[in-house]
Chains A and B, each alone.
Chain A
Amino acid sequence: MRSTLSALLAVFFLSIGTAIAQDIKIGHFGSLTGGTATFGISTREGIELAADEINNAGGVLGRKIVIINEDDQSKPEEAVTAVQKLINQDKVVALLGEVASSRSIAAAPVAQRARIPMVSPASTNPKVTQLGNYIFRTCFIDPFQGSAMANFAMKNLKLKRFAVLYDVKNDYSLGLREFFTQAVQKAGCEVVADESYGEGDVDFRAQLTKIKNTSPEAIYVPGYYAEVALICRQARELGITVPLMGGDGWDSDKTAEIGGDAVNGNYFTNHYSEQEDRPAVKKFVETYRRKYAGKTPDAMAILGYDAMRILADAITRAGGTQGRLVRDALAATHDFPAASGTITIDENRNARKSIVVLKIEDRKFKFVTSIQP
């Protein structure tokens, strides 16, 4: 009797074991709540859209992809916990995340130690992929983003005097400030004011008054949307009329919602524009709208989508889900036709791809130009 029972139990657990082995578990950790919640939510939507498409087309290596989402509440320390859980409890084969560089930097060492490939869809600070050879990204990096905006401002807008207002608590913002300033000074132009704030601040008048006093022709604000929107408002209230400029952290509906008309006339660099006239972009926007009730995808959605597809492509080429094989296949990604542009992973595990400049007019983001690396 006893042996029958244990045999039954063994069969039962074995069948569970094989059922789990059939699916490929991918962990996504992101800011589903907290100060930058739209980043995590959009990324998740993009990832799940890509996973659905891949599964409907037969999956990867004949197996289904299952996405396990973990919320890090927009906090670096929670990102570490989320990744530990995904690796140790859920036994994922690869990780997707984070958007914010600070949180990717916090979580990357955990993934590296466990030899689990981690693909950040949108962290643009150079440090992220320097943390280990299992850490990848499928977006451009800040030196490119910072210098692209500086060159656009100097060449296309013919501006010479700049001020910078950056978030001192944020690796992403610090990186953009550095590379923007470098590009401006290299071209012989001037940064006349260099001021800072901290994430979560609401009053920026003291810094803006100081900046106004140096009469710059544009102000570079490489921050995230919640603070940026308030900065735009207060700049206009103080009578600052020159354009404000930023990076992909501006990309959110909330920018215009909170900032109102004060966001008009400003520029920022981004990963893609849904107005760009490319078949891949059009197809992505259409399928996304169909799945998510007509919602227009923001940059984080398309980057999540691309990251998932690149990861699936790497697993297919690797022929298995072992960390080492997937890592090597990811590193060999060359001219992958992603929706946001053609992506090649370089020797530093960063993506080489194009960038777009957007202008905000009438509270809407208008495509201005696309810059090649």
Chain B
Amino acid sequence: MFLQQLINGITSGAIYALIAVGYTMVYGVLRLINFAHGDIYMIGAMTGLYASRWMKLSDEPRWSSLLLVLLMAMIVCAILGALIEFLAYRPLRNQPRINSLITAIGISMFLEFGGQQVFGATPQAFPEMMPGGSGTAMFTFYGISVARVDVLILATTLLMMLALSWMVMKTRTGLALRAVSFRFDTAALMGININRIVSFTFVLGSILAAVAGVLVAIKFPKVDPLMGLMPGVKAFIAAVLGGIGNLPGAVAGGLLLGLVEVFVAGYMPQGSQYRDGAAFVILIAVLLVKPSGLLGKNVIEKV
């Protein structure tokens, strides 16, 4: 049972990690907590649903059709991310940060309740997209099974983390990203097109959310316009836990959060009632002991 719970924890943590990577990247560059991230994730899942219906891809699951659905979700979310940045955040860039934060909450609600108008509020079934079945055990040992979709999610998370780290640390765009994250105006003086970099960050973050949306919808084939709410909050906790702005930190935070939740639900009497509470207790504990998060650097603010 312990081993199975360990697997359960890692697989549910991988989902938080997957969403948290996008969250933390946007924060790292813009110092903006994009509360709409969870809702862009929802739009990704919804796009996946409608794309697969429209192209009748679910009749016979194929890897190629899964890739196609992922691609469409990524494109739609990329456009959405760019639009949100252009219409909602850009006009506020030189305003106090709290304005953008509240706008982000507004965008989040707009997507949730606008989503209810457009898609209907009823939970809808997401079709089986993985050939051979997403829930089928990939491998079994000692009576413990690991589903194929869980392996896919974990692998995607790690891959995304590595690719992003490489992009940020080794490419010219990454260099510009880091420069912008230090100071907008100084970066602009160095000849960096701020608008382009900020736009790019949002587009990238939204693409990550789209991937997470589709993969999680495959794992839990029930999608509705409010599905991004709780995962968004949890991913935010995961990002803060690992040190917000830090990519490996987001993954570590996500996994840790998943493990704690599962062990609270699995070993405490009536533990599932404390599950969501546990996440917040950990958040508070980490913030008290190490405010910069597990893998975050301590930054001294100059006054």
Contacts and interface: CB of A to CB of B under 8 A. Distances in A.
Interface residues of A, number: 35
B128 interface: yes
Given A198-B272, A206-B266, A209-B8, A237 B123 contact: no
B135 A205 contact: no
B121 A238 contact: no
A260 B265 CA distance: 26
Given A33-B121, A37-B120, A202 B222 contact: yes
Interface string A223-244: 0001001100100111100000
Nearest to A237: B135
A34 interface: yes
B301 to A, nearest CB: 38
Which of B120, B123, B143 has its CB near the most chain A CB atoms (within 10 A)? B123
Nearest to A255: B125
A258 B125 contact: yes
A237 B128 contact: no
B261 to A, nearest CB: 7
Interface string A1-40: 0000000000000000000000000000000011101100
A205 B265 CA distance: 9
Nearest to A225: B123
A46 B147 CA distance: 42
A168 interface: yes
A257 B125 contact: yes
Interface string B1-39: 100110011011000000000000000000000000000
B220 A198 contact: no
A209 B4 contact: yes
Given A73-B121, A203-B220, A238-B145, A198 B273 contact: yes
Contact of A258 (B116, B123, B270): B123
A200 interface: yes
Interface residues of B, number: 37
A254 B266 contact: no
A238 B1 CA distance: 11
A226 B223 CA distance: 10
Given A168-B273, A202-B220, A37 B122 contact: yes
Q: Is the interface of A mostly helix, strand, loop or mixed?
A: helix
B143 A239 contact: yes
A233 to B, nearest CB: 6
Interface string A169-212: 00000000000000000000000000111101011011101101
Given A35-B123, A239-B145, A213 B220 contact: no
Contacts of B222: 202, 226, 229-230, 258
B112 interface: no
Given A195-B272, A206-B261, A207-B272, A226 B123 contact: yes
B85 interface: no
B122 A33 contact: yes
A200 B128 contact: no
Given A205-B262, A233-B135, A237-B145, A213 B1 contact: yes
A13 B136 CA distance: 69
Contacts of A147: none
A43 interface: no
B105 interface: no
A213 B143 CA distance: 11
Contact of B12 (A197, A203, A210): A203
24 contacts: A33-B120, A33-B121, A35-B224, A37-B121, A73-B121, A168-B272, A198-B276, A200-B226, A203-B8, A203-B12, A205-B8, A205-B11, A205-B12, A206-B263, A207-B265, A207-B272, A209-B1, A209-B8, A229-B222, A230-B222, A233-B221, A237-B137, A239-B143, A260-B128
Interface of A: 33-35, 37-38, 73-74, 168, 195-198, 200, 202-203, 205-207, 209-210, 212-213, 226, 229-230, 233, 236-239, 254, 257-258, 260, 262
Nearest first, the 7 A-B pairs at minimum CB distance are A206-B265, A33-B121, A257-B125, A37-B122, A205-B8, A206-B266, A202-B220
Given A226-B123, A237-B135, 8 more contacts: A37-B122, A195-B270, A197-B272, A205-B8, A205-B11, A206-B271, A209-B1, A209-B5
